[in-house]
Chain A
Amino acid sequence: MIGNKQIITIKGTREGLTLHMDDACSFEELLKELEEKLEANRIDSADHLVGVHIQLGNRYLYEEQEETLRRMITSKQRLRIESIHSDVITKQAANEWKEEAEVKAVSRVVRSGQVLEVKGDLLLLGDVNPGGCVTATGNIFVMGNLLGIAHAGKDGNADAVIAASYMNPTQLRIANYISRAPDHESDGVYMECGHVDEEEKKIIIDRLQAVIRKRPGISSFERRMLNG
């Protein structure tokens, strides 16, 4: 260890403890100091669990390393890990993140029996015919007739929306919510948008303008950052 520069700095905040961990030393050194620190500062076992936020700086943790770290912190003391934050991610993770945040433009007709799956948002220039299906992990925008099935927020994002120039779908699905067309034949609606209503816990279809008001961050990058 170089001089007496601390590898781990502990700060107490209202949300609990924040552990700033130096990112220049080796992981073993980090663990060693962490162990010492944890031994030194005993917290009375009668106390309730204290939340811990870990700041790793420019250090990337492998899964096993993260596991070791978690185990050490939670086993030695009455601590609960709230978050582990690192300033770096792998290229792979970054690519996935980017994919999630992108709007994929596709121009074709999704016909009966066909499935179009994308990561991120889908902008479809064309129709989804009855029997066809489009899915996206983000929002779905159809510049055409949506007559088949659309599934937005496929990985569980209930904030996703489905908008279409002409909307007369067989089914709309958002995250785990499903709604279907009424049993009687109905005319579709123009320029409307399906989204999950939190209070009623179901998918409702409303005018595009109204939905934009409810989901102001629909296209902003921050939303994607938070979700990412």
Chain B
Amino acid sequence: MGEAIVITSGKGGVGKTTTSANLGTALALMEKKVCLIDTDIGLRNLDVVMGLENRIIYDIIDVIVGRCSLKQALIKDKRFDHLYLLPAAQTSDKSDLTPDGMEKIVAELKPEFDYILIDCPAGIEQGYKNAVAGADKAIVVTTPEKPSVRDADRIIGLLEQEDIESPKLIVNRIRNHMVQEGDMLEVDEIVQVLSIDLLGIVADDDEVIKASNHGEPVAFHPNTKASIAYRNIARRILGESVPLMNFESEKGMFSRLKKLFSKSK
């Protein structure tokens, strides 16, 4: 029986879709059966990031209203045989998607897959409620910026009211030099405010944007910083304990010294 994980953030543009695509890819690389669900009706992106846009025939709304079976709507990934995508609808009426419908779909997928990753739309309205409905666990994505942390806090508050395990945090798009100069919130600070477990940190990496444009998740390429970060996160999801990236030590020396000084003052 698989596990359904919703990936959410509250604020838009912090990297929910990128995270979904990359975690899906990373888990698939570890021989897990994964299904990605895009619930951002009207603004679907996950298919583009995965490079599967041209294969879409049916979408999630078609499944809900019964125009096709769930099997027919699932798109098999180009690179893996055990990675699937259930795309969002681009044109259909988004009010057709309901929490009940979502729960049904997730329940139908669970026996078939190890992990079901649900990409949540931005905001806290209907779209969010739909995405959360079928989930067992939640991952909250934030960036080291105040507005994004604020929204993450709000989302965590809402998730606490759901029947879901305590959410885990991913801090995305960390820019080394800015953190070092104190212009960006530090990961420790974010974790302290949000007071949930940290699942991983991801560096702001040009490769991510390049990869998105090529329709190939960065996690598929082994050597970039972001790729390693996503793979580490995937391993943590599987229950391995992986230390927070060398990233930390890379950022190390300087800011550690700085921290030492700021503590001793």
Interface residues of A (CB under 8 A from B): 109, 111-114, 127, 129-132, 145, 147
Instruction: Evaluate contact between B193 and A131: CB separation under 8 angstroms.
Output: no
Indicate the member of A112, A114, A127 with the most B CB atoms within 10 Å: A112
> Residue-by-residue, is B138-180 near A (CB-CB < 8 Å gives 1, otherwise 0)?
0000000010001101101100100000000000000000000
The 5 A-B pairs of least Cβ separation, nearest first, read A111-B157, A112-B153, A112-B154, A113-B154, A111-B153
CB distance from A179 to the nearest CB of B (A): 21
* Given A112-B150, A112-B151, A127 and B157 contact (CB-CB distance below 8 Å): no
> Which partner residue on chain A sits nearest B124 by CB separation?
A113
Is B92 interfacial (CB-CB < 8 Å)? no
Q: Which residues of B contact A109 (CB under 8 A)?
A: 157, 195
17 A-B contact pairs sorted by A residue (CB < 8 Å): A109-B157, A111-B154, A112-B150, A112-B151, A112-B154, A113-B153, A113-B157, A114-B157, A127-B193, A129-B153, A129-B193, A130-B153, A131-B150, A131-B153, A132-B153, A145-B192, A147-B193
- Docked pose: A145 CA to B153 CA in angstroms: 14
Contacts of A113 in B (CB 8 A): 153-154, 157
Q: Size band of the B side of the interface?
A: 10 to 19
A176–B150 CA distance with the chains assembled, in angstroms: 27
| A131 to B195 Cα, complex, angstroms | 15
**Chain B nearest CB: distance from A113 CB in Å?**
4
Among B151, B160, B192, B193, the most chain A Cβ lie within 10 Å of the Cβ of B193
Chain B's nearest CB lies how many Å from the CB of A161? 25
Chain A residues with CB under 8 A of B153: 111-113, 129-132
**Complex partner residue of A127 from B151, B154, B195, CB under 8 angstroms:** B195
Q: How far is the CA of A131 from the CA of B160 in the complex (A)?
A: 17
Pick from A114, A127, A130, A145: contact of B150, CB below 8 A.
Answer: A130
Closest chain B residue, CB of each to CB of A144 = B195
Q: How far is the CB of A132 from chain B (nearest CB, A)?
A: 8
- Chain A residues near B157 (CB-CB < 8 A): 109, 111-114
Q: How far is the CA of A151 from the CA of B146 in the complex (A)?
A: 23
With a cutoff of 8 Å between Cβ atoms, the chain B residues found around residue A147 in the complex are 193
Determine how close the nearest CB of chain B comes to the CB of A75; give it in whole angstroms: 57
Which residues 110-162 of B have a CB within 8 angstroms of A?
A: 146, 150-151, 153-154, 156-157, 160
Cβ-closest chain B residue relative to A131: B150
Closest B residue to A130 by CB, please name it: B150
Alpha-carbon distance A147/B150, docked complex (angstroms):
12
CB distance from B162 to the nearest CB of A (A): 14
Given contacts A112-B157, A145-B192, could you give 12 more A-B pairs where the C-beta distance is less than 8 Å? A111-B156, A111-B157, A112-B150, A112-B153, A113-B157, A127-B195, A129-B153, A129-B193, A129-B194, A130-B146, A130-B150, A132-B153
